[in-house]
Amino acid sequence: MEAGRKIEFDDVELLQRLGAARIDIEREIGRRIIGQREVIEKLLITLLADGHALLVGVPGLAKTLLVSTLAEAIDLKFSRIQFTPDLMPSDITGTEVLQDDQTTGRRQFEFVRGPIFADVILADEINRTPPKTQAALLQAMQEGEVTVASETFQLGRPFFVLATQNPIEQEGTYPLPEAQLDRFMFELRIGYPSAKEEAVIADITSSGPAASIESVLSVEDLLQFQGLVQRVPAPPSVVEYAVRIARATRPGEDGAPDFIKRMVSWGAGPRASQHAVLAAKARAALGGRPVPNLDDVRAIAPDVLRHRVVPGFEAEAEGRTADDIVAELIEHSRSW
């Protein structure tokens, strides 16, 4: 643990409370969501690290239900925005409406808040809307505020954006710009359930209404846990490893492995190493540990890097994906 930075007694108690809260949250989510334990853990890590996540999976995998259930379990205000080709930025942020003042008889503009003014935002099928509208999320995700008609409005805390994307249906979609992708701490892949899990899902969903969810965590507790993650000390070795693995994805970097220089056309920027350190700290705290280690960085590295690494022509010719390249890099990093 770093000199001058240590976990205080109150933070030890917070760590214990976080462990109990995790059990309660996973229990409530499990009332509706079968399986997907790793995805649920990564969503909790993102939330604790005050980040945002992109969920990628084929239709029918309960992505929307998972996000709304998580919001219910933590007593968060949930807002779902269905992204469509005709969606306008004002449909997200809000707009000014001309209103009559009953007391003075005058007419004046009044700002009507859009659906982005919530705790948890589900941007459903985000790649179905043009870049101009996608960009409406940029300021909100990075700065925690929106600007409408020269006036800036602060968003509340917590503020958690989860966007979904269909990986197989490309007609009528708009690829997310790199600047937008870089705002997401994680890109999480949701796969098919096992045969046993799918049988349970088919039985439950055909046997009546969905189970009710009890709120087991307050907003105040969540904000305390987010503050705890910020205070968790990251050893120099963890920070150096996170930075080195992010820099190693850049083909122009002197220390990049040969396969990166050959396979990658564009690597991860500095935000990747920042997110890797934060996510490693959140993973350690979620596991009841006061200090993260290298295994925490390795565990979250694929989710931090896969959307920030752009494979080159040679990788495409060999059928290598960003996931393949990142997995090879993580294995290569064990020899550092």
Per-residue pLDDT tens for 221-256? Answer: 999 999 999 999 999 999 999 999 999 999 999 889
Query: Do both 177 and 312 map to the same domain?
Result: no
User: Which whole number is the average pLDDT over 180-202?
Assistant: 91
Residue 143 has pLDDT above 70, yes or no: yes
pLDDT recorded at residue 4: 41
- Among all chains, which residue has been given the structure tokens 């997907």? 36
Residue 120 has pLDDT above 60, yes or no: yes
Which DSSP helix (H) or strand (E) runs through 155? none
Reference 65, options 11, 94, 29, 39; nearest CA is 29
And the tokens for 67?
Answer: 């996000």
pLDDT recorded at residue 102: 72
Q: Among 201, 231, 261, give the residue marking a domain's end.
A: 231
Residue 72 has pLDDT above 90, yes or no: yes
pLDDT recorded at residue 171: 61
CATH number at residue 214: 3.40.50.300
CATH number at residue 251: 1.10.8.80
Q: Among 231, 262, 293, give the residue marking a domain's end.
A: 231
Quote the CA–CA distance of 320 and 313 in Å, as a whole number.
Answer: 10
pLDDT recorded at residue 3: 39
Quote the CA–CA distance of 266 and 272 in Å, as a whole number.
Answer: 13
Query: Do both 153 and 8 map to the same domain?
Result: yes
The mean pLDDT of the chain is 89
User: Which whole number is the average pLDDT over 279-298?
Assistant: 96
Counted domains in the chain? 2
> What's the pTM?
0.89
Q: In the structure, what pLDDT confidence band is assigned to residue 297 with cuts at 50, 70 and 90?
A: very high
Query: Do both 7 and 125 map to the same domain?
Result: yes
Residue 125 has pLDDT above 80, yes or no: yes
Helices of type H across the chain:
9-29, 37-48, 63-73, 89-93, 131-134, 136-143, 178-181, 195-205, 219-231, 236-247, 258-263, 270-286, 294-305, 313-317, 322-333
The percentage of the chain sitting over the pLDDT mark of 70, rounded to a whole number, equals 96
Query: Do both 174 and 202 map to the same domain?
Result: yes
Residue 166 has pLDDT above 80, yes or no: no
210-220 pLDDT, tens per residue? 788 999 999 99
Range of 73's domain? 1-231
Higher pLDDT, 205 or 29: 29
Query: Do both 47 and 189 map to the same domain?
Result: yes
CA atoms within 13 A on the CB side of 221: 19
pLDDT recorded at residue 282: 97
Q: In the structure, what pLDDT confidence band is assigned to residue 169 with cuts at 50, 70 and 90?
A: low
Query: Do both 197 and 119 map to the same domain?
Result: yes
Q: In the structure, what pLDDT confidence band is assigned to residue 115 with cuts at 50, 70 and 90?
A: very high
pLDDT recorded at residue 100: 73
pLDDT recorded at residue 57: 84
Residue 52 CA to its chain's centroid (Å): 3
pLDDT recorded at residue 152: 85
Query: Do both 243 and 225 map to the same domain?
Result: no
Query: Do both 215 and 144 map to the same domain?
Result: yes
Q: In the structure, what pLDDT confidence band is assigned to residue 54 with cuts at 50, 70 and 90?
A: very high
pLDDT recorded at residue 18: 94
Query: Do both 246 and 113 map to the same domain?
Result: no
Quote the CA–CA distance of 3 and 97 in Å, as a whole number.
Answer: 55
User: Which whole number is the average pLDDT over 50-62?
Assistant: 88
Q: In the structure, what pLDDT confidence band is assigned to residue 95 with cuts at 50, 70 and 90?
A: confident
